[in-house]
């Protein structure tokens, strides 16, 4: 017991977030400034580049030469205990992302089986160094040593995501890079990019140029929470194909997969403004200026609608290598479909009926989901959809993102679907970080009970109330940063930080390792220093 307590105290001192699975601190230090970095010859090119870039950065910041070279004798040296410098070796028995790190006064030894494992090992090493390593200017006066320790570590969940809504407000590529960089520090690996919605279409599609010519701009923006208001100031923007490609490549270097979302068949008013023939009434439509749910949705009665979706998906698949494509599926009112002769004709032709409490129009949405799922499957891709896709019938192979609490996720996992937990009560970073709403920026939170303080997100247990047999279907956890009320990058970062750090422990750490007091102290101390030196805006810890 005393021994356990002692270890807990020592591991707290290392100040790593997310907390590694096992940490043992020993006496002494390893001098890393001026060290040689070596790796096995057989390490893949991406991992070698990663290590080499880290060594270059350390050299620049510590103002000492740090060399890097693959070494043919490293493995035999390791076997005979002759290691020197910082050594990176392969251990094929480790799972993707897993690593071990041993720091002694003579050497640092890292084992991993893949690029992700080396990525996380380096992030851990970075957190063991003075915060100046996160800066851009030389800091030769800092103590460039690593504390002697033994760490073994691996992620609890394979999917560790963050959604950014770039439709309600548009964020330039530079800001996207900053979000990816901070995700990298805290070992997140999926960036869910919400690229289309009623209030703006944000990605260039060659086949449908009006999507960005018309669909990317709105005539104004709702003022505060006042429904129906507009500031009358034109607003918009979109990402070019080149920009998308560079963001995807940058994310890849950081070990992050980008999952694009084209939200359909609801949340499509901006696309309808560009191509009104895709709606039930034929329009005219305007890019929406206010928040909330639009009843103007795609018309699945017409074949052109599917030609459009497929044309868009062709280009999405061309730009994004991700196996998963998010197709939305949330909040799709059926009022237009009920009145639309084309939709009703399609319902009749398919023989869809209202039964078991599911309307024939909901079954028409199931048809849309399945048809798009099949099309994407023909291109080797899989779909993720919001939990509404569970209503009625869902075809095998779909992954459900549970946002209306965890109930949808629990139900989906029990039915054999893969699940990503993103419940709005814990994971909606558009909500206030404090119950003292008047002291926080204006947002959607009107009831203090809906606030999501740091401790609340930290307390989220993704597998609670789930049958043991279903838990393996939970791929992971994601937080969603919706931006109806967030227009500026500094506000965006404020909403994200430090909650992203709490999220990272929910995603990465086993339950037993999590400890709010330790975490809070680390955030208030070392982690705040990191965020400061990286220049992020963040909410100070209470």
Positions annotated as catalytic residues are 197, 267, 331
DSSP state of 437: G
Near ligand TNX by CB under 6 A: residue from 135, 444, 450, 533: 444
Closer to ligand TNX at the Cβ: 96 or 229?
229
Minimum gap (Å) between residue 331 Cβ and ligand TNX: 6
Closer to ligand TNX at the Cβ: 486 or 534?
486
Q: Is 35 helix (H, G, I), strand (E, B) or coil?
A: coil
x-or-dash pattern for ligand TNX, window 302-331, by CB under 6 A?
----------------------------xx
Dihedral angle computed from the Cα positions of residues 171, 323, 213 and 211, in that order, rounded to the nearest 10 degrees: -120
When asked if residue 386 is in the footprint of ligand TNX (CB under 6 A), the reply is yes
Closer to ligand TNX at the Cβ: 441 or 444?
444
Of 403, 406, 337, 339, whose CA–CA distance to 367 is shortest? 337
When asked if residue 63 is in the footprint of ligand TNX (CB under 6 A), the reply is no
Q: How many CB atoms lie within 10 A of CB 104?
A: 16
Closer to ligand TNX at the Cβ: 62 or 433?
433
Closer to ligand TNX at the Cβ: 85 or 328?
328
3-state helix, strand, coil in the chain (%, to 5): 40, 20, 40
x-or-dash pattern for ligand TNX, window 461-490, by CB under 6 A?
---------------------x-x------
Closer to ligand TNX at the Cβ: 187 or 194?
194
Of 261, 353, 336, 254, whose CA–CA distance to 301 is shortest? 336
Of 118, 53, 49, 116, whose CA–CA distance to 88 is shortest? 118
Size of interface with ligand TNX, in residues (CB under 6 A): 9
Minimum gap (Å) between residue 70 Cβ and ligand TNX: 46
When asked if residue 403 is in the footprint of ligand TNX (CB under 6 A), the reply is yes
Segment 259-298, which members bind ligand TNX (CB under 6 A)? none
When asked if residue 391 is in the footprint of ligand TNX (CB under 6 A), the reply is no
Segment 421-440, which members bind ligand TNX (CB under 6 A)? 428, 430
Minimum gap (Å) between residue 422 Cβ and ligand TNX: 8
Segment 100-139, which members bind ligand TNX (CB under 6 A)? none
When asked if residue 220 is in the footprint of ligand TNX (CB under 6 A), the reply is no
Structural tokens at position 523: 């955030």
Minimum gap (Å) between residue 412 Cβ and ligand TNX: 15
Minimum gap (Å) between residue 403 Cβ and ligand TNX: 4
HSE-CB at 16 with a 13 A cutoff on CA atoms is 32
Minimum gap (Å) between residue 293 Cβ and ligand TNX: 8
As beta bridge partners, residue 68 has 37
- DSSP string of 235-250, one letter each residue: EE--B-HHHHHHHHHH
- DSSP string of 396-434, one letter each residue: TT-EEEE-SSSHHHHHHHHTT-EEEE--HHHHBTTS-SS
Of 321, 327, 317, 322, whose CA–CA distance to 262 is shortest? 327
Minimum gap (Å) between residue 352 Cβ and ligand TNX: 24
The strands making up 99-103's β-sheet, listed across from edge to edge, are 22-31, 145-153, 99-103, 107-112, 85-90, 36-40, 67-71
Any idea how long the chain is? 542
Closer to ligand TNX at the Cβ: 276 or 444?
444
Distance CA 283, CA 215 (A): 14
Contact residues toward ligand TNX (CB under 6 A) are 330-331, 386, 403, 428, 430, 444, 482, 484
């Amino acid at each position: 017991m005393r021994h356990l307590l002692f270890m807990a105290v020592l591991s707290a001192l290392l100040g790593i977030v997310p907390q590694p699975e096992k940490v043992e601190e020993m006496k002494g230090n390893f001098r890393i400034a001026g060290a040689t970095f070596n790796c096995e010859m057989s390490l893949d090119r991406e991992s070698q580049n990663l290590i080499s870039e880290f060594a270059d950065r350390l050299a620049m910041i510590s103002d000492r030469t740090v060399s890097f070279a693959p070494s043919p004798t490293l493995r035999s040296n390791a076997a005979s205990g002759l290691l020197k410098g910082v050594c990176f070796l392969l251990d094929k028995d480790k799972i993707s992302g897993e690593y071990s790190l041993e720091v002694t006064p003579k050497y640092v030894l890292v084992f991993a089986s893949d690029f992700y494992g080396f990525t996380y090992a380096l992030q851990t090493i970075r957190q063991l160094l003075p915060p100046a390593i996160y800066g851009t200017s030389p800091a030769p006066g800092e103590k460039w040593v690593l504390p002697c320790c033994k760490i073994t570590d691996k992620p609890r969940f394979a999917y560790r995501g963050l959604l950014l809504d770039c439709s309600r407000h548009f964020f330039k590529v530079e800001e996207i890079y900053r979000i990816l960089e901070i995700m990298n520090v805290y070992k997140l690996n999926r960036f869910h990019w919400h690229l289309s919605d009623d209030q703006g279409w944000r990605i260039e599609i060659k086949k449908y140029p009006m999507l960005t010519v018309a669909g990317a701009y709105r005539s104004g923006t709702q003022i505060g929470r006042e429904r129906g208001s507009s500031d009358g100031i034109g607003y918009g923007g979109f990402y070019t194909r080149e920009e998308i490609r560079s963001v995807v490549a940058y994310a890849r270097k950081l070990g992050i997969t980008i999952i694009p979302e084209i939200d359909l068949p609801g949340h499509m008013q901006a696309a309808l403004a560009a191509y009104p023939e895709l709606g039930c009434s034929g329009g005219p439509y305007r890019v929406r200026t206010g928040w909330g749910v639009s009843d103007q949705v795609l018309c699945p009665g017409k074949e052109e609608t599917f030609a459009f979706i497929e044309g868009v998906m062709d280009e999405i698949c061309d730009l994004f290598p991700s196996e998963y494509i998010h197709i939305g599926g949330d909040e799709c009112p059926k009022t237009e479909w009920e009145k639309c002769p084309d939709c009703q004709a399609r319902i009749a032709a398919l023989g869809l009926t209202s039964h078991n409490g599911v309307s024939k129009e909901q079954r028409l949405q199931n048809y849309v989901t399945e048809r798009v799922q099949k099309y994407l499957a023909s291109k080797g891709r899989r779909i993720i959809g919001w939990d509404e896709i569970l209503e009625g019938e869902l075809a095998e192979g779909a992954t459900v993102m549970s946002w209306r609490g965890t109930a949808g996720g629990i139900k989906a996992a029990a039915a054999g679907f893969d699940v990503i937990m993103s419940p709005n009560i814990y994971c909606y970073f558009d909500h206030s970080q404090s119950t003292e709403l008047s002291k926080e920026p204006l947002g959607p939170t009107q009831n203090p009970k809906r606030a999501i303080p740091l401790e609340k997100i930290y307390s989220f247990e993704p597998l609670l109330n789930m049958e043991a047999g279903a838990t393996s279907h939970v791929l992971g956890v994601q937080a969603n940063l919706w931006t109806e009320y967030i227009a500026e990058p500094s506000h965006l970062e404020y909403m994200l930080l430090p909650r992203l750090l709490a999220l990272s422990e929910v995603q990465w750490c086993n339950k037993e390792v999590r400890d709010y007091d330790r975490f809070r102290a680390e955030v208030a101390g070392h982690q705040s220093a990191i965020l400061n030196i990286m220049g992020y805006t963040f909410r100070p810890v209470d």
